[in-house]
Structures are given as structure tokens and as C-alpha cells.
């Protein structure tokens, strides 16, 4: 059940606040609409998703929206601060500062040169 919940969260996270039609999600997860609806109700009760009732092609259905989008750690991958030997002495207004840090500068520059992969 936890694995299925994680998969639902991963899929819904891609749609952010736009949400996803539940029928679309059930198809991707190969769930029957009965099992899918039960799961959606459960996720709503536990506060993981919101269900928004909508009229789609003349039929009532639900859009499922993840309440909290998980934060990706991708943006801080390889950040020099994570392994910095002088991190304790670093502050915005200090002598050692991210404003003048060469490691930060190199890291940001290297990241900007990376080809962007669309999701």
C-alpha cells in the first residue's frame, strides 16, 4: 500500500497544482476504477491529496491534486557547502562568504553549462 501511495505521489507531483484526472491515473497504475476510487478516498482522508469534482465530457469525475509537492534535492546536488571545510566560518557578511566564494562560483557556472533535461 505504501509503495502504491508513493507511486501516486510521484505521478501527481509532476502535474503540480494542475492535478490529474483520476481515470488517467488509474490507467497508468493499471487499477480498476473501483480500487482507484477507494485509494483516492483514502489518500484524501489522510491529507495527502485533494479531490476536485469536475464535469468532463458530460460525466462527473475527480481531479486529484497532491497537497504538498515533494522537494527535489537535485538543485543542491554537488553543492560545495555540503562538504566545505570552512562552512562554520561562512556567513553572508563575514570574511568567508558565499558572496565571494570561488567554490560557489565554480559550482554555479558548471551547473549553467550542463545541458538541461526536460522531464
Q: Which of 10, 16, 56, 87 binds ligand SF4 (CB under 6 A)?
A: 87
Establish if 86 lies at the interface with ligand SF4 (CB under 6 A): yes
Residue 11 as a binder of ligand SF4 (CB under 6 A): the answer is: no
Measured distance CA(46)–CA(80) in Å, rounded:
38
Name which position in 25, 98, 113, 116 contacts ligand SF4 (CB under 6 A). 98
Cell for 29? 497504475
78-107 burial code (b ≥16 CB/10 A, e <16): eebeeeeeeeeeeeeeeeeeeeebeebeeb
Residues at the interface with ligand SF4 (CB under 6 A):
80-81, 84, 86-87, 90, 96, 98, 101, 103-104
Amino acid at each position: 500500500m505504501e509503495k502504491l501511495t508513493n507511486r501516486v505521489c510521484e505521478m501527481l507531483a509532476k502535474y503540480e497544482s494542475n492535478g490529474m484526472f483520476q481515470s488517467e491515473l488509474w490507467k497508468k497504475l493499471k487499477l480498476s476504477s473501483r480500487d482507484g476510487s477507494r485509494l483516492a478516498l483514502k489518500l484524501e482522508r489522510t491529507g495527502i491529496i485533494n479531490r476536485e469534482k469536475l464535469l468532463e465530457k458530460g460525466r462527473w469525475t475527480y481531479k486529484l491534486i497532491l497537497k504538498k509537492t515533494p522537494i527535489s534535492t537535485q538543485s543542491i546536488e554537488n553543492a560545495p557547502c555540503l562538504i566545505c571545510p570552512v562552512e562554520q566560518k561562512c556567513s553572508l557578511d563575514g570574511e568567508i562568504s558565499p558572496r565571494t566564494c570561488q567554490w560557489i562560483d565554480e559550482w554555479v557556472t558548471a551547473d549553467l553549462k550542463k545541458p538541461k533535461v526536460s522531464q
